[in-house]
Each structure stands twice: as structure tokens, then as C-alpha cells.
């Protein structure tokens, strides 16, 4: 079934040679960067909480966490900054048909994102190097503009994606793009919900990844205040986010019925229009027939339409040339939903039991789950992006610009894709080796982690 979805792309003669490698390269670099972007968005807020507790509550354990998280963010934000730059270049290098024609429609939010990236980078530099060099309160305050710019930056970047799903702010007359209103493009109909979905998702990813690190320590028997606080603060953020996320996702999904019915049909694996529509768990579309799915009656209508019997429009209402790759979209979407529901459920369970006086942090099975909850949240974000991006195909800009017309006509993009794979693999290994060695040295009792060259330092330079 994968072949049947990929083959037309490969076989058809009039597609640009750059289309497939451009798609793959964009997917890899976006899928890699989004994890780091989550840290840029959500981590400063969490550091603020422990740092504030450290100096206001005079809590050395919390202050120690803030120092370590600051050093970790120095590594993560550096690779996040450069992998974000890759995406800026790729917008033009891979999708000249989009940028050349619509650059002045969609570009303004990117310009605002540049502003927030500026603010984040400046205050990151001040925060990282400000330890012991500034009054404590002012130093703490440097995290506030970082947190705010994370919100603004998320809004701006997601705004462009929302515009691709909900094009606005222009008209096409005789093939020419006119009547451009970049503000309307920026504040298009889909932006607020999509922004909320991603922003909350970032807190799930960072909260669960960081709390998972401390759950791992607890599992290894390192039961102390440091690990308990290191688990609890990010887990509180992640819990709130995990409970809010299904609600946001539900409202967003209902909107898709009105704006992108083909995407919804693929999400729900709706081959024909049915009302009431069942929820199809799993399953594949093979030769235009749905197979191997577990159907739960009426639940499809409830979830997608907020109604007991409203129909979910099927793929039969859409010309086959406008179908997205249905199976990839469907499976990615449902994987996201299943993981998200699981994470929300576990978060609710943890706090319910804690309210009833039972602490799950003493339960080894819970700790094991908490360790994998971080990777699961990352997977959910990846699946979500795959679902929305693949589900928008064959369009880059919904019903305005086809992806074949957006892609580069250049040959040789396979080479740049190969280069991206090699460099990103190297960066992943490098980050893993360095972060693991930092954790080991901290466990061994080191605090400042001076560089291996250069004089040993006493002052707390991060």
C-alpha cells in the first residue's frame, strides 16, 4: 500500500525531479527541528519556575535544577537555532514555486517570527552568561522575554502553516496574485486553533521529556528532593497541557470538516459518506475498499461533527486527483490521537491518585511509563505534523497551489537530501554524547563543567 501511494509520484513524467527529494528533505529537517523548537518555546517557562523557587524560596535544590537546565538549554537552543535556519533556506531552495509567487502574501509572519527569534537569542545569551554576574532578580527576569517570544514565535510560524491550510489575504486574477493583504493572510481563519494546538503540544513534549529524565533517575534508585522536584515541575506543565490538548484538537478537527473535507475524510478513513459515521480504528484503504478496521458505531460523527448522526463526508465526494495519500494520513492521525489520549489519561490518573493519597512516584511501572512518555509525546507531535501535511496534499496552498508547482525544478536535490541526512545524524549523535556526558559529570559531583581545554574555572560560567 505504501508503494501504491508513492508510485504515482515517481512514475508520472511531468512532475519536477526535485519533488520527491524536496518533500523528504523538508520532512526530515522539519521533523527534527520541531523537537528543538518545542524546547525553545516551553523550556524557558519551566526554568523560570524552578529558578524563581530557588531564589525567592531560597531553595538550593531548585536553584541547582535551574543551573543545569540552563546549561542543557545552551546546547539544545544552539542546535535549534541552526536547524531553524535550515528551514528558512529550504523555503526558497526547495519550494521556489511557493516563495516566488506567494512570498509577499505569506512572508509577514515570518518577519515577525524573526523579531521574536532575535529577542529569544539576545536574552538567552544574557541569561546563560549572567549567572553570578547580575543581580539575582534581574537575572531571573531575563527568562520572561524568552517565554513571551516563544509564544509569539509559535504563533507566527504556525500562522504560515495555517495560511497554507486556509489561504486568505489575496486574490488570483488571470493567474496573477493580486489584492494582497498580508495582515489578513497572517490572521487567517485557522491560525488561533492551530497555534493553540502546537503551543500546548510543545509543553507536553518538553514537560514529559524532562520529567522522564528524572523518572529514570528515580527508577535507578536516586530518590531525593532533586529528582522529585525535577520530575514534578515539568510534569505539572505537561499534565495541564495533556488534558487541554484533546479539547483543542477536537475543536480543530471540527473546523476541518468545513475547510478541508478531503483531509477529514482521510483522517477518518471515510471512503463513502456515512451518517451516522463510525469511528474506524486502524484499517487501510486498499483498492478503494476499507479493510481491517475496527469500527465503533456513531463515534466518528461524535468526534468529527460533535453530533450523534451528522455525516462525515467521504472520499467519494472528492475527485481522486485531489485525494491525499489516505493511508499515511489516516494512520498518522490516529496514532497521534491514541498517544494523546493515553498521555492525558495517565496524567489524570496520576493526580487523582495523588489526591487520594497514593504517590505513583513510588510505583516502578508508573516510572517506566513516565520514561517513555517523553518519546511518546515527541511521536505524537511528529504524527500530527505528518497527518496535517500529508493530509493537505496534493496541495501546498489549499486549492490554490499544487505541490508539483511549488517544488524546485532542479535536479540533484537527492544530493542535498543525503547531506542533510548525514549532518542531522551527526548532530543527533553529537547532542546525545554531549548531553549524556554532562549528566554523568553532574552525577559525579561536578557543578560547573569547565571545558576540557583552558584553565579550570571557579566561577559559574555555564
Nearer to another protein by Cβ, of 132 and 345: the residue is 132
Kindly indicate which of the ranges 130-138, 265-273, 348-356, 380-388 contains the residues binding another protein, using the contact rule CB under 8 A: 130-138
The Cβ of residue 160 has, within 10 Å, a number of other Cβ atoms equal to: 20
Q: Which stretch binds another protein (CB under 8 A): 207-215, 223-231, 364-372, 423-431?
A: 423-431
Compute the chain's Rg from CA coordinates: 24
Q: Of 100 and 297, which CB lies nearer to another protein in the complex structure?
A: 100
State the number of CA atoms in the 13 A half-sphere of 396 facing the CB. 22
**Per-residue contact flags (x/-) with another protein for residues 240 to 279, judged by CB under 8 A:** ----------------------------------------
Nearer to another protein, 151 or 438 (CB): 438
Find the DSSP H helices in 289-410.
Answer: 299-305, 326-355, 364-392, 403-406
Binding flags for another protein, 161-190, as an x/- string (CB under 8 A): -------------------xxxx-------
Q: How many residues does the chain have?
A: 462
Which range in 74-82, 210-218, 260-268, 337-345 contacts another protein by CB under 8 A? 74-82
- Per CB under 8 A, contacts with another protein among 385-414 are 408-410, 412
CA atoms within a 13 Å half-sphere pointing along the CA-CB vector of 54: 24
To another protein, the closest distance from the beta carbon of 50 in angstroms equals: 20
Beta pairing partners, 397: 401
Query: Interface with another protein includes 74 (CB under 8 A)?
Result: yes
Residue 431 within binding range of another protein, rule CB under 8 A:
yes
Closer residue to another protein, CB minimum distance, 83 or 329: 83
Q: Which one among 419, 425, 443, 447 touches another protein, defined by CB under 8 A?
A: 419
How far apart are the C-alpha atoms of 398 and 130, rounded to whole Å? Answer: 46
Counting residues that bind another protein (by CB under 8 A) gives 77
Pick the closer one to another protein by CB: 232 or 410: 410
Cell of residue 235, nine digits? 510534569
Instruction: Choose between 136 and 342: whose C-beta lies nearer to another protein.
Output: 136
Residues 294-333 that bind another protein (CB under 8 A): none
Candidate ranges 1-9, 120-128, 207-215, 260-268; the one touching another protein (CB under 8 A):
120-128
- Contact call for residue 358 and another protein (CB under 8 A): no
Interface residue with another protein, options 16, 44, 130, 230 (CB under 8 A): 130
93 binds another protein (CB under 8 A): yes
**In the complex with another protein, which residue's Cβ is closer, 12 or 179?**
179
Of 400, 403, 381, whose CA–CA distance to 390 is shortest?
403
Side-chain half-sphere CA neighbours of 158 within 13 A: 26
For CA atoms 353, 61, 151, 98, the dihedral sign is: negative
What is residue 365's DSSP assignment?
H
**CA 120 – CA 114 distance, rounded (Å):** 10
Identify which range of 72-80, 260-268, 324-332, 364-372 contacts another protein by CB under 8 A: 72-80
Nearest distance from C-beta of residue 173 to another protein, angstroms? 13
Nearer to another protein, 181 or 363 (CB): 181
Selected range binding another protein among 48-56, 127-135, 226-234, 270-278, rule: CB under 8 A = 127-135
- Concatenating the DSSP letter of every residue in 129-177 gives H-TTTS-HHHHHHTHHHHHHHHHHHHHHHHHHHHHHHS--S-EEETTEE
Residues in contact with another protein, shown as a per-residue x/- string from 26 to 65 under the rule CB under 8 A: ----------------------------------------
* 134 forms part of the interface with another protein (CB under 8 A): yes
- Which of 4-12, 76-84, 277-285, 369-377 is the region at the interface with another protein (rule: CB under 8 A)? 76-84
Q: Residues 99-118: x/- map of binding to another protein (CB under 8 A)?
A: xxxxxxx-xx-xxxxxx-xx
| Residue 161 near residue 185, CB atoms below 8 Å | no
Q: Which residues of 325-342 are buried (b: 16+ CB within 10 A; e: fewer)?
A: bbbbbbbbbbbbbebbee
Regarding 121 and contact with another protein (CB under 8 A), the answer is yes
Kindly state the greatest CA–CA separation across the chain. Answer: 73
Convert residues 202-231 into a mask of x (bound to another protein by CB under 8 A) and - (unbound).
Answer: ------------------------------
238 CB neighbour count, 10 Å cutoff: 29
Confirm or reject binding of residue 418 to another protein (CB under 8 A).
no
Q: Taking Cα atoms as reference points, which of 202, 89, 96 lies closest to residue 150?
A: 202
**Nearest to 270, CA basis, from 287, 290, 251, 255:** 290
Of 87, 80, 93, 76, the C-alpha closest to 29 is 87
Amino acid at each position: 500500500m505504501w508503494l501504491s501511494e508513492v508510485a504515482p509520484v515517481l512514475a508520472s513524467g511531468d512532475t519536477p525531479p526535485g519533488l520527491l527529494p524536496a518533500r523528504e528533505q523538508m520532512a526530515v529537517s522539519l521533523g527534527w527541528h520541531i523537537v528543538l523548537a518545542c524546547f525553545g518555546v516551553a523550556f524557558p517557562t519551566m526554568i523560570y519556575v524552578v529558578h524563581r523557587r530557588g531564589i525567592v524560596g531560597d531553595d538550593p535544590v531548585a536553584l541547582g535544577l535551574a543551573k543545569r537546565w540552563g546549561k542543557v538549554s545552551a546546547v539544545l537552543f544552539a542546535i535549534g537555532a541552526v536547524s531553524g535556519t535550515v528551514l528558512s533556506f529550504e523555503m526558497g531552495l526547495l519550494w521556489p514555486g511557493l516563495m516566488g509567487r506567494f512570498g509577499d502574501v505569506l512572508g509577514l509572519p515570518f518577519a515577525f517570527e524573526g523579531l521574536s527569534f532575535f529577542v529569544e537569542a539576545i536574552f538567552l545569551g544574557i541569561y546563560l552568561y549572567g549567572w553570578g554576574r547580575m543581580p539575582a532578580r534581574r537575572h531571573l527576569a531575563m527568562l520572561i522575554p524568552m517565554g513571551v517570544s516563544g509564544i509569539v514565535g509559535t504563533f507566527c510560524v504556525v500562522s504560515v502553516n495555517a495560511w497554507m491550510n486556509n489561504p486568505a489575504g489575496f486574490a488570483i486574477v488571470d493567474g496573477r496574485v493580486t489584492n494582497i493583504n498580508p495582515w489578513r493572510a497572517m490572521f487567517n481563519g485557522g491560525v488561533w486553533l492551530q497555534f493553540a494546538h502546537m503551543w500546548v503540544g510543545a509543553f507536553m513534549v518538553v514537560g514529559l521529556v524532562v520529567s522522564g529524565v528524572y523518572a529514570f533517575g528515580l527508577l535507578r534508585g536516586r530518590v531525593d528532593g532533586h529528582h522529585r522536584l525535577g520530575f514534578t515541575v515539568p510534569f505539572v506543565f505537561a499534565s495541564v497541557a495533556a488534558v487541554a490538548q484533546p479539547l483543542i484538537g477536537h475543536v480543530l478537527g471540527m473546523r476541518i470538516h468545513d475547510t478541508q473535507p478531503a483531509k477529514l475524510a482521510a483522517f477518518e478513513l471515510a471512503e463513502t459518506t456515512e451518517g451516522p459515521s463510525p469511528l474506524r480504528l486502524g484499517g487501510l484503504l486498499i483498492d478503494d475498499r476499507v479493510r481491517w478496521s475496527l469500527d465503533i458505531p456513531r463515534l466518528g460523527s461524535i468526534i468529527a461533527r460533535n453530533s450523534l448522526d451528522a455525516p462525515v463526508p467521504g472520499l467519494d465526494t472528492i475527485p481522486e486527483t485531489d485525494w491525499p495519500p489516505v493511508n499515511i494520513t489516516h494512520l498518522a492521525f490516529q496514532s497521534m490521537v491514541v498517544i494523546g489520549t493515553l498521555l492525558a489519561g495517565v496524567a489524570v490518573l496520576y493526580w487523582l491518585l495523588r489526591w487520594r493519597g497514593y504517590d505513583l512516584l513510588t510505583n516502578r511501572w508508573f516510572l517506566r511509563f513516565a520514561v517513555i512518555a517523553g518519546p511518546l509525546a515527541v511521536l505524537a507531535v511528529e504524527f500530527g505534523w505528518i497527518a496535517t501535511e500529508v493530509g493537505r496534499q496534493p496541495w501546498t496552498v489549499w486549492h490554490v497551489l499544487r505541490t508539483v508547482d511549488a517544488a524546485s525544478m532542479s535536479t540533484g536535490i537527492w544530493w542535498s537530501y543525503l547531506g542533510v541526512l548525514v549532518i542531522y545524524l551527526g548532530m543527533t549523535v553529537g547532542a546525545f554524547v554531549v548531553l549524556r556526558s554532562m549528566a554523568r559529570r553532574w552525577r559525579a559531583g561536578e557543578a560547573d563543567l569547565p571545558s576540557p581545554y583552558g584553565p579550570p574555572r571557579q566561577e559559574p560560567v555555564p
